[in-house]
Structure 1
Amino acid sequence: MGCQQVQLITLQILAILSSVAIAAQATPAIAKPGCDDHCGNVSIPYPFGMTQGCYLDDDFLITCDHSSIPPKPIYGSNVNVTKIDVEGQLHILQYIAYDCYGGMQQKTSTRYFNQPWLNFAKFTISSTQNKFTAVGCDTYAIFRGYKGDQVYTTGCLSICESIDSVVDGTCSGVGCCQISIPNGLRGINLTLSSYNKHEGIIDFNPCSFAFVTNQDEFNFSSKLYRELQNKTHLPLVVDWSIGKETCEVAQKNQTSYACVDKKSNCYEPDSTTSGYGYRCNCLEGYRGNPYLSGGCQDIDECVEGLHKCKKDCINTVGNYSCPCPPGYHGDGRKDGEGCQDIDECTDPRLNKCKKNCINTEGSYTCPDQSRVIKLAVGLAIGITGLLVGISWLVFGFKKRKLENIRKTFFEQNGGPKLKKLLSGREGSTETIKIFTAKELKKASDNYNKSRILGRGGYGTVYKGELADKTIAIKKFKIVDKSLTEQFINEVVVLSQINHRNVVKLLGCCLETQIPSLVYEFINNGTLFHHIHDNNKASAISWDIRLRIATETAGVLSYLHSAASTPIIHGDVKSTNILLDDKYTAKVSDFGASRLAPSDQTQLSTFVQGTLGYLDPEYLQTSQMTEKSDVYSFGVVLAELLTGKIAFSFDKPEERTLATYFLTSLKEGPLVNILDDILVHAAEQLEKVANLAIRCLNVKGDERPTMKVVEMELEALMRKVEI
């Protein structure tokens, strides 16, 4: 028998003796001898107790309320305890603050509210496990914390206008807000109020709520607006400790020193708060109640899976060992050397072979040499044949998998639907090319960030280089079926448009997870940048601006009346008007467009568009009409005249250019708001301003059609040419 085997057997004998010794110990107690250790379903570990002599001092007295079924433990006068951890946590139920208008179930202006408080003489409210939270859509909550003579005041605000704006799982200020609380607080007080008495939201949120609760047991949901009306308490965690002394001071008086078990130590959980006290902890390898003699019991890491042994595990008192089996060497640990195989064949002293020796995992064999040669040849032939067969299988599998992936992406990206829609429209499939993913990847230099031309609501546009032309690649960021519809919509819309002032669609790619559209490249940027960039604005005179406006109006007029099926653009703005090197307008981004059947003058759709350009009538009714494009074009005219952006946060009362433009013209002459470079053509400027005013009419029926707008602008253009 080898030395290693002797060591292994010795360790196993020690482990058996250790297990016998541990099993012989009594079941570890959590309370002092002769004391009740439960109240109802809640364990009451020492230093807490319920009768004289069973608790450390008055700070740890628990009263068991037997009038409840089951009985429930009470701390102090009325604090309901749900769990006590010897690690230093007291789990309780604390009152919720509420501020209701019409009571919990009514909808009147009557107000009902409370202002709960909680105070401990010795213990502190845990700042690591609790957070202050307020729930409501017209809510501001005040938190006051007390730490000796110090008072900490903080709070948070929660606002929302509808249940649809609330996002479950987050407390960022929309329907719910949440903040951390200071460390070492012995008392708290909560106050609630509102701004508008919950007017306009009382149907779904008549009440505001505030509470300090265990963050691990709280998950925000809009359902809480109703559920909290039927709750009075939520869980809260309190930190407890022994006395007011540090460990060093407490250990000098062994009579009152609480860490009585020999396998325990003392630590200070909060060294930042004076007089916080200390706690006791079982040493590593033990668990239990360190406040009782014999309370810390050995942990069997091997049985509980708490070890880091690579192979065998043997439990010892307060620890464990990781011996390697015969045929291996090392420390046996996963975080160390582990168990390495011993090559007995390299050392004649470790094997008993006469001639040949073959090492195996954990052992060795002594085979006949002729059998070894035959076995090696047979294995070589078998492995070669197996590898050839596997290679063919893998090649065929990868080929089929690639074909299936391309087919799946084609279907996911709306390929069948798009093909069906285009096949019924003459001329569409002849002009639109289906690009491969490889072609577009090469053209965009693997979608290099330096190639990005712009980003929009539906994706990112990259500059690409083909052998014969420069292109623009619009890569969609599809995450749901609604954006797939936007992709199909843009292809169908653009396939029906044949106009010199519309960005031409060259093709698309459907064989990747994210589909792409390919357009002609317009090299001179957007109208927005030329108007609002001080270095470029002076380059576009009034004559150029008037021509751009006329060309854009011509496109919209064509879409509304001359196209085979009327089309509403839906997102007319200066960033969607591109310019070539001759400042010719090219209208782009038809992702929000809608085909309007000939027997239908308006379309119902969820509200989408860009702030500052949105038709106010569309915002109220969600009905997109051709007059929605007229309003947006009116904002573009105002941009061309004033050189100002369509939406700004600088002036809260006049954030939109439309409001600023209309108000300014009522209060003074046009010259007061004109762009600095527009110093001539006063008569034309006045006529265009009046046209913009008509386009910006709040009532859609009173706005001109784009055909009328085009004709009036063309008339002004003819005067310029004369």
Structure 2
Amino acid sequence: MVLFRMLVLLITCSVLNAFTRASIVINSSCQEDCGNVSIPYPFGIGNGCYVDDWFEIVCRSLNDSYGLGFPKPFLKRLNYLEVLEIDIDEARVRVNYPIFSTCTNVTNSAKNLELEKSPFNFSPDKNSFIAMGCNNSALMWSIFPDDSVSYGIVCHSPCDKAPFTNGSHCNATNCCQTTIPSYLQAFSTTIESKSSYNSGSSECKYAFLVDQNWFETNFTEPKSNMSVPVVLDWGLDITTFHSLPIQKNSTAREYKNSTYSCDTWPILQNFITMFCSCESGYEGNPYLIGGCGGVSTSLGVLFLIFSGWWSYKVIKKRIKIKCNEKFFKRRLLLQQQLFTNMNRVNVENTKLFHSKELKKATDRFTIDRIIGRGGQGTVYKGMLADGRLVAIKKSNVINEDKFQEFVNEVVILSQINHRNVVKLLGCCLEMEVPLLVYEFIPNGTLAQYLNGQNEEFPPTWDMRFRIAIEVAGALFYMHSAASSPIYHRDIKSTNILLDEKYRAKVADFGISRFVAIGQTHLSTIVHGTFGYVDPEYFQSGQFTDKSDVYSFGVVLAELLTGEKAISSSRTRDTNSLAAFFVSSMEGNNLFDILDNQVLKEAEKEKVIAIANLAKRCLNLNRNERPSMREVAMELEANQMSPKISNPQEKYREIEYVRTEISKQYDVVSISTTSGMDGILTTSSLDSQPLILSS
């Protein structure tokens, strides 16, 4: 019976191919394939055969060693990337993409801008970022069109001489494999110089994107100047979509008929793409009039197609059952961890939302409701039935790593009760893609605020100072006063939100970790954002509380200078704000790099004090950095100290204030560890008490 069904499917596919083959191109004069690669519309070879320039294919014959020419297709506008396969149903295209390598002991970088402002992006659930080579530290960060950095990942491969074997997933080899952010188009790759770790080795190092399935099954060893398969997602922008043949007779916004339907998909902020698919029971090319073919009038063919369709439905149903079982197990895992880890105070406040409720709150997750995107997911603004505004984070892809980040964020936020940490209201376990529901924070991120995106309320010195104190207080609480110490691991200005009163709210706990009391560090694959990552963590893979301190030091530098953490406008040696800031201070040029608002409003002595604190946080030796407790105390002391002209008197005043605050912090720590609530007033600008949960 099984063999019969397989035979029916094969015959059905052959019949359907015969009917749909003629409709994969826009007209009979267009070339249907190049070599062994089918070229369906909207891609095409020759004038009038493709929808726009981005989809133009050039078919070239490449000579082999015998002098024979083998034609291969290339995407002309994407620097002639070789096309390996075009998948109309999934809106994906596989291409050969060059790897980045270096065989020297100096830092090397390369920018990959072929896809910038195009309808293509690197598929986040099909590709991986790989670093290979002895003690190779490779960085990849995405670049927006304005040359700003949006997201960075770091991969550090250990010096293990075990040979690479197929399917190893980089285990037990000099190799590192990690996921990539969504909506990735343009990115830079850097291989750091680590000569002191290589013991003089001249071994080459590699960093590249690759189709993860191909990598795990077909990859053997890297070579300089080689190319590997990479999967690109694609779509058509609205203007291009309206030029499709199927749109000539369309009058409604709902692009759907009995044979095909089209839907929208966000690639980048303010850029919407559309893709089409044939309806159930039809096969072919949905981008052409009549492209989705039906069945033949022959009864025999009808029978074959019906049998094949029935077999397909049976198989699809079984796959769906398997998927449901998988998601059910995941939900049980999440619920088990939630109720194992939640303290009694917060378990009642963390709600399990229904998917129907969240779909209604976001107009079915329409593009208009998107308020942010990151490496972990897309954030939508929503309104619940009771009128509350919420932010709903929808994960990008479904894999075990992302699901563990989802579980991790729920468990950690369920145990944090701090006014300067974003509040988790609940989550949704009913959908295939995990959803987290937070309180809505209306004024965006600190990065947006500092970069001048809010002209109505410019960032004054008092606001900057208060934000620094609030973030420091939240990190001190996480490190020292929470029921179990928590390392955030991704402190940056885009993860600091601002509420209606411009108070700071630390967010994004997907890669945060609990730490056992007395434990000094976490040994992990390097995660974080380039420009904020602790250099010692980057080199050793050991994350400590002082790694969060380093990232906070970068945020302090941002508050003082208004500069971005990474900027190509600075010189190569100082494109990192941390290096630029420390270098400027050591050269006595602090007041040359301060933001104009800071120069106009701040007292010189306080600015110098805060700058020196930031410099200590950015010390390359983590043992020389202050703890977050010391940072929070020093910021509080500087804020509370009055303006005094006599330097010696000012020093005595600051020391007195610091001593008094230290006593308050000691009281908080003692009362927290003894199971009582500690109360601390965080600043004179906001006199409401801060309650620390035990």
| Higher RCO by CA contacts (8 Å cutoff, separation 6 or greater) | 2
Normalising by structure 2, report the TM-score. Answer: 0.50
Q: TM-score, normalised by structure 1?
A: 0.48
